[in-house]
Chain A
Amino acid sequence: QKEVEQNSGPLSVPEGAIASLNCTYSDRGSQSFFWYRQYSGKSPELIMSIYSNGDKEDGRFTAQLNKASQYVSLLIRDSQPSDSATYLCAVINSGAGSYQLTFGKGTKLSVIP
């Protein structure tokens, strides 16, 4: 059973602070890792993808991947109230011939003005 685990939160941070979201996965063959943002009542929006160990930065977002520890994280710098949403971690093991995203349950982030 492939599993993706996230703390459900809620995670509350003050405006301007760094929000740190964490995710672990069980399938050691996973090759592609994604962070989606989902506002209440809306569909998931892809915000970051990462495929190799290390950090990947895009604006205020930094994704970190450690395949040895089976760990993915998302850092949001200078958090804004508009960042308040549920953040979903997702992985794919396309090497197994599967292209389905396996999602965690999401972490709810609240940015307090």
Chain B
Amino acid sequence: DTGVSQNPRHKITKRGQNVTFRCDPISEHNRLYWYRQTLGQGPEFLTYFQNEAQLEKSRLLSDRFSAERPKGSFSTLEIQRTEQGDSAMYLCASSSKTSGSIFSYNEQFFGPGTRLTVL
């Protein structure tokens, strides 16, 4: 399978604990994105990397959230001191320029997500 992969698929934690999620993008995709989705809502943007550089970060993102993509391949998203409001599906997506439209770079492909439950 050459799609985006995410681990773990499910995570249950207690309030106040730290959690870390991993995303492996589609091979050779140099852009990687993190989103969060709660029930009944569309995904909400968190942050975006081009290669190893974090180029965009949501202003709504708490300082408890941090993301890295150290070698421009996989990425990790860490949440410190989790709160019950952090319970959500955390989605990773990747994209890359293709030989088609110049806008094809914007076509983002999502992984299966990590479902976080904070007790």
Which residues of B are at the interface with A, using a C-beta cutoff of 8 A? 31, 33, 35, 40-45, 48, 55-56, 58, 89, 91, 93, 101, 103-113
Contacts and interface: CB of A to CB of B under 8 A. Distances in A.
A102 B101 contact: no
Interface of A: 4, 31-32, 34, 36, 42-46, 49, 51, 88, 90, 92, 94, 98-106
Contacts, number: 66
Contact of B45 (A32, A34, A46, A101): A101
Contacts of B44: 103
- Tell me which of B31, B35, B42, B45 has the highest count of chain A C-beta atoms within 10 A of its own C-beta: B42
Given A31-B103, A44-B91, A98-B56, A103 B110 contact: no
A43 B112 contact: yes
Given A44-B91, A99-B48, A104 B42 contact: yes
